[in-house]
Amino acid sequence: MMVRRITYREAMREALREALHADARVFLMGEDVGRYGGTYAVSKGLLDEFGPERIRDTPLSELGFVGAGIGAALGGLRPIVEVMTVNFSLLALDPIVNTAAMLRHMSGGQFSVPIVIRMATGAGRQVAAQHSNSFEGWYAHVPGLKVLAPATVEDARGMLKPALADPDPVLIFEHAQLYTLEGELPDEVQVDIRSAKVRRVGRDVSLITHGGSLPKALRAAEELAAQGIAAEVVDLRVLRPLDDATIMASVRKCRRALVVDEGWRTGSLAAEVMARIGEQAFFDLDAPLARVCSEEVPIPYARHLEEAALPQVPKIVAAVQALMGKGQ
């Protein structure tokens, strides 16, 4: 099998190109996706290749163009809607939550909304509070939505195809710090959008995370290995529905668990994962559950404050040391 080295951004672009070639019903729409090539350069070159009917620049109105995308999906097309940042998706909460997520239920199964909505998420780039949030956990709260968080080049390349094949709305959250991530991509990529994936095998503690926190968890696992602690790293990948089986298998093996989530601690996805572990694997635990989340503040602009507000490798390492009874 051939393997190429490629960036996350390039992998997303390849996935879009493949989808556009494979199905004439597929089109991309969003702010600056055409002539500008996308805010994060994911759609660069696609306008020249596919033309303005398939690569559609929209007005600066998330409420308007997300709603239009839902209408196009109901009309038989397969829209991919790009929202510049998850913060701006709040302007489209009504069409996403009250229409796309609920229409199959409210129509008694007569209608579905086969739309894919992509959006950048996360902090770490000094773009201040209104451009730095991680709201994927909010959307994972909503029945009727499937919520994905590709954190590797392979998932960035492979998740779009099954997302487009899904008859119901799929939201893809791309952490903005991952676009320049490089990784090896095999020539044949098959990715499901149902299961979590163990990224590093261990025996002492389960590090459960997703998205932009995955590289941090993997670096923390490297540091912990040098201290004789074998951390297993579980990449959730699919935030709704959560893959309980993979999570519990890891927890039952390692008997300790730390959840790393860039969302705020209160009402976080981390809290949901911990609750499920408590419900399903409480008597397998040798230590209390723990989590590392963002501080309960709007994400600061100043770099040193932003770094202090977010989950970081030293915080993860210290939390694991405390779980292992080796705190400094």
Strands 182-186, 3-7: pairing is antiparallel
For residue 22, the surrounding DSSP H or E stretch is helix 8-22
Phi, psi of 81, rounded to the nearest 5 degrees? -105, 125
Asked if 290 and 261 count as a contact pair (C-beta separation under 8 A), the reply is: no
Residues marked active site are found at 62, 131
- Measured N-to-C along each axis, helices 244-254 and 269-281 cross at an angle, to the nearest 10 degrees, of 70
Strand partners, 117: 81, 171
- Both tokens assigned to 103: 């229409």
Which of 225, 227, 279, 234 has its CA nearest to residue 253? 234
The three-class DSSP label of residue 75 is: coil
Nearest-5° angle of CA 266, CA 212, CA 57? Answer: 100
The DSSP secondary-structure symbol of 103 reads: H
Q: How far apart are CA 215 and CA 72, in angstroms?
A: 37
Query: Are 15 and 161 in contact, with CB atoms under 8 Å apart?
Result: yes
